[in-house]
Amino acid sequence: MKAILVTGGAGFIGGHFVRRWLAEEDGLLVNLDKLSYASSLQRLEVVADNPRYQFVHGDVCDGNLVYELVASHRVSAIVHLAAETHVDRSIDDPADFVRTNVEGTFQVLEAARRWWRGLNEPARSEFRVVQVSTDEVYGSIDSASGGQPDRATEDSPCAPNSPYAASKAAADHLARAYWRTYGLPVVITLGCNTYGPYQFPEKLVPLVILNALEGRPLPVYGDGQQIRDWLHVEDHCRALRAVFARGKPGQRYNIGAECQRTNLEVVRTITAIIDRLVPDLPHAPCGELVTFVADRPGHDRRYAMDTTKIRTELGWQPQVDFTQGMEQTVRWYLENRAWAEQVAAGKYDRQRLGLGPA
């Protein structure tokens, strides 16, 4: 049975990936996670006793630990999801983002290279490193004008505008360099805004859901017209699986639903769902809770990616409709408010989050 190493498997996307992998694949899955504020082992309670699952509390910046896990379990692949991802936090304190996203990726790549170069065929050819990144590395994509494309392709230049995006772009460049210089079989994915169950309450979708249920303001940056592509987490994980199984080393793959919505449209969609599902809220309609706040520095206006490559080459396409996926997500938070409140209370500044005192 082949083993894989997943970094950041207690995070939002990581938790979904781990659960799906163990349900559908054989072999051992080793999950390395330092359990930062946005991580939660509660996401993995369903697999905690699975004999094919091993959790290791540790930091990807610890290169010796990463190599020890790779070598001792003779892993056939690494899915590198561990990252600091919250843009506002990167603006407030970029040092953690440079450390985890750049130094951590370097250590993962070094451990992979040390192990991979000693392998014999066919294990050497079958080995993979999947570097999971973000559409934010492309920067803001203006609507088509003057012959310029209105969506970023895998060949578009990187133009990151936040410390978070810059740290992820640096990590991607390192991954590409390890492919070009050493031949390490690395594949890079660039995912769009992802939503779904178990997302940390700092992010837009769960923040709006929880605040709306409690009758608190729904903060919207600037005019709310920033455009993002929205993808359900299960579709994102299916895409990662497709890239893992069929992606070509040295290639980049955009992962997106091509479902562009303004931030304000997303908020209005959520509040309409809540008004319908919970009609007796004393502060209904929840849309009246929208509060426009000062825009954050360097806020990108629009993200948009061309996902032709992953659809045509790997046969992947999203399966979850935006409206249906958002309603499923709202229903999950309605049924799991205690989880979200516990995570927020123990890990994050509640006043900034807008959930009130603990």
Q: Given 33, 59, 103, 136, which residue is catalytic?
A: 136
Q: State the sign of the Cα–Cα–Cα–Cα dihedral 195, 198, 199, 202.
A: positive
pLDDT at 147: 52
135 is catalytic: yes
pLDDT at 357: 39
Contact 186, 116 (CB under 8 A): no
Contact 184, 178 (CB under 8 A): yes
Output the six-digit token pair for 319: 């399966």
Q: Is the pLDDT at 347 greater than 60, yes or no?
A: no
Model confidence pLDDT, tens digit, residues 52-103: 999 999 999 999 999 999 999 999 999 999 999 889 899 989 999 999 999 9
pLDDT at 346: 55
53 is catalytic: no
Q: Given 84, 135, 300, 327, which residue is catalytic?
A: 135
Q: Given 67, 164, 178, 253, which residue is catalytic?
A: 164
3-state secondary structure of 221: strand
Helix (H) or strand (E) holding 327: helix 322-335
Residues 6 or more apart whose Cβ sits within 8 Å of residue 96: 84, 89
How far apart CA 26 and CA 51 sit, in angstroms, is: 11
Contact 171, 105 (CB under 8 A): yes
What percentage of the chain exceeds 70 in pLDDT?
94
How far apart CA 177 and CA 184 sit, in angstroms, is: 9
Walk me through the domains of the chain, giving residue ranges and CATH numbers: 3-194+232-258+299-320 (3.40.50.720)
How far apart CA 191 and CA 83 sit, in angstroms, is: 13
Mean pLDDT of the chain: 93
How far apart CA 257 and CA 85 sit, in angstroms, is: 20
């206006």: which residue's tokens?
A: 301
Model confidence pLDDT, tens digit, residues 231-284: 999 999 999 999 999 999 999 999 999 999 999 999 999 999 999 999 999 999
Task: Give the confidence band of 293 by pLDDT, cuts at 50, 70, 90.
Answer: very high
Task: Give the confidence band of 148 by pLDDT, cuts at 50, 70, 90.
Answer: low
Q: Is the pLDDT at 132 greater than 80, yes or no?
A: yes
Model confidence pLDDT, tens digit, residues 175-219: 999 999 999 999 999 999 999 999 999 899 999 999 999 999 999
- Encoded amino acid at 48, one letter: A
């079958």: which residue's tokens?
A: 126
pLDDT at 97: 95
How far apart CA 98 and CA 102 sit, in angstroms, is: 5
Ramachandran assignment for 224, one of left (phi > 0), alpha (psi -120 to 50 degrees), beta (any other): left
pLDDT at 342: 77
136 is catalytic: yes
